[in-house]
Structure 1
Amino acid sequence: MTGAPVIHIVDDDASFRAAISRVLKVSGFEIADYESAISFLRGIETAKPGCILLDVNMPSFDGLQLQEELAKLSHGWPIVFMTGRGDVPTSVRAIKAGAEDFLLKPVSKETLLDAIRRALAGFEATKQQQDQINSLRSLIATLTPRESEVFALMVRGKMNKQIAFQLGTSERTIKAHRHMVMEKLQVHSFAEAVSIAEKTGLLAPSAARGVENP
């Protein structure tokens, strides 16, 4: 994540927002605060990515409802819940729905900062993983339809002669397609090609049989 991480404080208590903002600014974070879940949703399209510090109990539209709405929007920013009236069922529901942490007010500075830093570290790791997957999918998109068919069969352990028979062409042609697949995917081994198929969801980890060449 480039620049100072942004902490989005969503809480209807103005004094709490101000106090937490001061603590986080001194700790090097950029702050954006919102008086309600609705105001956060209104500004989400132009907001910078970061961690959401979210109150559970708010009028009209509470924190759990906002969490559900963000899930519908496929919005993956990490959420750290904070509440003065927490209970076990609520915390379990929040965590099961993907919240990074569930803290009870008042919370110490150290506990809060640890939760936020863990959430941001997890978010960054997930983002890097997704960026890698998107890059690999872009490579796969350069394959022709026939090369895609060869790729799908080769990573499942099919030998060249088996692929040729299944696709109704010659083994020499399959070898040529296979060479182009490896070149376009920028890999030098069968194992690397299988890894790409697994990482992009085209192949279950147990599906490859480890046959590199026929």
Structure 2
Amino acid sequence: MTDSPSLVFVVDDDESVCRALVRLIQSAGYRVETFGSAREFLDRMPAVSCPACLVLDIQMPDVSGLELARELNAALPIIFITGHGDIAMGVGAMKAGATDFLPKPVCDTDLLRAIEQALERAEQMRAIRRELDSLHDRADRLTPRERQVMALVVTGLLNKQVASELGTVEQTIKAHRRRVMAKMEATSLAQLIRIADKIGLSGAVGAHAQR
């Protein structure tokens, strides 16, 4: 059994299925929260502060599992389960962001394996979000001119070219560039380029921008 802080949400309108899934998932050491419909899940929309995934029935009244998945827009890894699956439905599920698509009655081993993989993906997603938050926080420390310098430097322009673009002198650009590297915690131009790509900082800066 796993001593895990991870959380599994189960959304299924069949109470007996929910009870069986809860017993199985809890037996593997995961915490579980159940919802009787997609609408109930959307209305209560739990705040998630740990790795989490969603075990979701596709065919439910009112709001379907596929509609819920599209609404969530990949916020959580989703394992679809269904008693009436076909190839077209499976394709639709994968396009909606499913990590797995399992037929009912669900094989215990298959479901637990799918949950483990989904939670690993959830942790990877959380790590990516934490990294992006950190990078954006660093970028927020840049002055407007430093942001302009960074946007141009990462396009491959030399200091003198950046200076010409911004209507200043090369020595000033060198000073700005040093501060950019320090604030962004980059040790090389290659690393700065990767950071700029991750945070969507482009080189689209107008010529002779105001200092």
TM-score (norm 1): 0.87
Match of 1:98 in 2: 97
Match of 1:6 in 2: 7
Task: State the one-letter code of the partner of 1:126.
Answer: M
Match of 2:131 in 1: 132
Task: State the one-letter code of the partner of 2:57.
Answer: D
Distance 1:174 1:8, change over 3 A: same
Instruction: Kindly indicate whether the alpha-carbon contact (under 8 Å) linking 1:4 and 1:30 is maintained by their aligned counterparts in 2.
Output: yes
Match of 1:208 in 2: none
TM-score (norm 2): 0.88
**2:201 aligns to what SS in structure 1?**
coil
Q: 3-12 or 116-125: which moved more? A: 3-12
2:83 & 2:49 partners in 1: Cα distance? 27
2:75 & 2:46 partners in 1: Cα distance? 13
Distance 1:48 1:32, change over 3 A: farther
1:139 & 1:164 partners in 2: Cα distance? 23
2:12 & 2:117 partners in 1: Cα distance? 21
Q: Give the C-alpha shift of residue 114 in structure 1.
A: 0.7
**1:57 aligns to what SS in structure 2?**
coil
Distance 1:47 1:124, change over 3 A: closer
> Can you list the C-alpha shifts for 1:146-197, whole angstroms capped at 9, x where unaligned?
1111111111111111111111111111111111111111222222211211
1:32 & 1:168 partners in 2: Cα distance? 59
Structure 1 unpaired stretches of 5+: 205-214
Task: State the one-letter code of the partner of 2:179.
Answer: M
Instruction: Kindly indicate whether the alpha-carbon contact (under 8 Å) linking 1:6 and 1:48 is maintained by their aligned counterparts in 2.
Output: no
Structure 2 unpaired stretches of 5+: 204-211
Identity within the alignment, %: 42
Of 54, 67, 77, 1:52 maps to: 54
Match of 1:69 in 2: 71
**1:32 aligns to what SS in structure 2?**
strand
Match of 2:167 in 1: 168
**1:53 aligns to what SS in structure 2?**
strand
2:47 & 2:195 partners in 1: Cα distance? 33
Aligned residues: 200
Q: 187-196 or 162-171: which moved more? A: 187-196
Matches within 5 A, 1:1-214: 4-46=5-47, 50-71=52-73, 76-202=75-201
Q: Give the C-alpha shift of residue 199 in structure 1.
A: 2.1
Q: Give the C-alpha shift of residue 46 in structure 1.
A: 4.3
1:160 & 1:142 partners in 2: Cα distance? 21
1:3 & 1:121 partners in 2: Cα distance? 12
Q: Give the C-alpha shift of residue 144 in structure 1.
A: 0.7
